[in-house]
Amino acid sequence: MSETSSGRSPGPTVQEVLAADAVPAPVVLQAEYPPENALRSGDTDLSAERYFSQEWHDLEVEHVWRKVWQMACRAEAIPNVGDHVVYDVADESVIVVRTAPDQIRAYINSCLHRGTQLRHEGGSVQQFRCPFHGFTWDLDGTLVHIPNQWDFPHVVPDQFCLPEAKVGEWGGFVFINLDPDCEPLEGYLEVLPDEFTAFPLEDRWTAVHVAKVMPCNWKLALEAFIESFHIGTTHPQTAAYVADANTQYDVFPESRHVNRMITLEGVPSPNLRNVPAEETIRKMQRDVPFHGGETIVPSDEHRTRDLLAARAREKLSASANADLSGLSTSECLDAIEYFLFPNLVPWGGQGVPICYRFRPNGNNPAESIMEIMLLFAKPDEGEAPPPADVTWLSIDQKWTDTPLLGGAGMVVDQDTDNLIRIQKGLKASRKGAVTLGRYQESRIRHFHETLEHYISTGASQ
Ligand code: FES
Ligand SMILES: [Fe+2]
């Protein structure tokens, strides 16, 4: 079948490669949900102004960030009663706090006296005492102290509880929703819990957490990480071991909030011809630390992917202090990346144990906050180490300014260099629109259909 008529890259499909793996992939990966069947609109163009206009940003705040479930933190970040994080998005600020061993609540981060932020960063407290005049609330949100109470006969403590946001948990993540009438998290997650029964993220811990202010709109940052089309041009160093162009993109039937892609590693890009196995192995060992060490010798007997996976299983098990000998070849190697609208990009598998989060930086449509977490397997025995603190990078710093991300820092710097140019180039555009590929950029189209759905249904209410 020709390239044009198939609508897919030449070369073996993800399913053909997975079917030949020595240790078969989980069942959820052995399925395809072709995006073109699910996309509700055939339109491939998106207006450029959505990436820089204040009006678009304001619509997103009103109809998305104040309406939908969003990942606020990992549960292990607040292990003890009183531990809390502050989750900020646009003008909204929420304190996510453990109020009992098995209960997490979220309070609007604004004093009911004169509005001061009760907490400006995470920590551990047994009461929320406002730093301005000292109004104080218990962890359960009840007002317990009014300074100079004689002056506030009109304040009835029962009516002065801290307002709450909705809270839900899944996969070791804590989610919040600012809309009191929102649908339950369980329904919002759609297929995600079923898909992740194969990759239980509640059994992971946050080994690395880096956050950076990005010089671009939050959607541009997100979009740069949910397609593999750009890899050949932006990250050419990976072509010998990342099968970029025959990535599988899935939009689940009837799904509004979830999509995924599977990019194979340990096999070369279909855009290259005749890459020797030795080169695939050497470059993967060079770039991916846990494939490193003693040189892996290509074999006629075993496929390169299976050789690499065998080494990965040993190294992952040793570093996690867990028995990961049963991991499939795909979970050891591939980029198995899901998206949950609007801010969470969790990965399955263990070879690339990444999780991203994206959101606007305040109300500036030209800046965003991107976070990279590495979620390692918990040890089989004993407690996982305490989760990593967040390492913040400013807009002027590079991802490689921290050693925490290893070789991935250089790759994400390559993406960030693009994003600076995209943010500027879109404003100069006379066409006033981006034109998406039909297949490889289908997750981006799906994301915007969901975004437009929330903005249009919210606007019509
Ligand atoms: S503003 Fe919080 S106590 Fe006055
Ligand atoms: Fe990239």
Q: State pTM to two decimals.
A: 0.96
Task: Note whether 182 and 197 are same-domain residues.
Answer: no
Residue nearest to atom 4 of ligand 1 (CA): 133
Residues 260-313: pLDDT tens digits? Answer: 999 999 999 999 999 999 999 999 999 887 788 889 999 888 899 999 999 999
- Written as six digits, the tokens of 67 are 């309406």
pLDDT category at 457 given cuts 50, 70, 90 is confident
Residue 231 lies in a domain: yes
**Which residue minimizes the CA distance to atom 1 of ligand 1?**
114
pLDDT for position 6: 66
Co-location of 120 and 218 in the same domain: no
| Ligand 1 site residues, Cβ closer than 6 angstroms | 111, 113-114, 116, 130, 132-135
* Model confidence band, residue 459 (pLDDT cutoffs 50, 70, 90): low
Q: pLDDT tens, 188-222? A: 999 999 999 999 999 999 999 999 999 999 999 99
Residue 4's pLDDT band (boundaries 50, 70, 90)? very low
Q: Pick the last residue of a domain from 187, 214, 229.
A: 187
Q: If phi over 0 gives left and psi between -120 and 50 gives alpha, with beta otherwise, what is residue 274?
A: left
Answer whether residue 24 is part of any domain: yes
For residue 147, the ligand 1 atom closest to its alpha carbon is: 3
* Residues 428 and 388 reside in one and the same domain: yes
Query: In the numeric block, which tokens belong to residue 82?
Result: 């009183």
% of the chain residues with pLDDT over 70? 98
Boundary of a domain, candidates 187, 202, 229: 187
pLDDT at 3 over 70: no
Domain shared by 227 and 81, yes or no: no
The domain that holds 114 is classified in CATH as 2.102.10.10
Same domain for 127 and 100: yes
> At which of 135, 169, 187 does a domain end?
187
Measure 145 CA to ligand 1 centroid, in angstroms.
11
Q: Give a yes or no: residue 65 inside a domain.
A: no
Domain-located, residue 223: yes
Atom of ligand 1 nearest to the CA of 115: 1
Per-residue pLDDT reduced to its tens digit, 316-372: 999 999 999 999 999 999 999 999 999 999 999 999 899 999 999 999 999 999 999
Is the residue at 105 inside a domain? yes
The CATH code of the domain that includes 306 is 3.90.380
pLDDT at 290: 79
Q: Which atom of ligand 1 is found nearest the CA of 114? A: 1
Whole-number Å distance, alpha carbon 120 to ligand 1 midpoint, is 14
Pocket test for ligand 1, best of 107, 135, 152 (most atoms within 8 A of CB): 135
Q: How far is the CA of 88 from the centre of ligand 2 (A)?
A: 26
Same domain flag for 224 and 109: no
Instruction: Give residue 135 CA to ligand 1 midpoint distance, Å.
Output: 6
Query: 265 and 201 in one domain?
Result: yes
Q: Is the pLDDT of residue 2 over 70?
A: no
The answer to whether residues 158 and 245 belong to one domain is: no
Reading phi first (left if > 0) and then psi (alpha if -120 to 50, else beta), residue 354 is in beta
| Ligand whose nearest atom lies closest to the CA of 136 | 1
Residue 182's domain spans which residues? 70-187
Q: Does residue 83 fall inside a structural domain?
A: yes
Q: Based on the domain organization, do 207 and 76 belong to the same domain?
A: no
Instruction: Return the ligand 1 atom nearest residue 130 CA.
Output: 2
Specify the number of domains making up the chain: 2
Question: Do residues 310 and 451 share a domain?
Answer: yes
Does one domain contain both 180 and 321?
Answer: no
pLDDT score at 1: 38
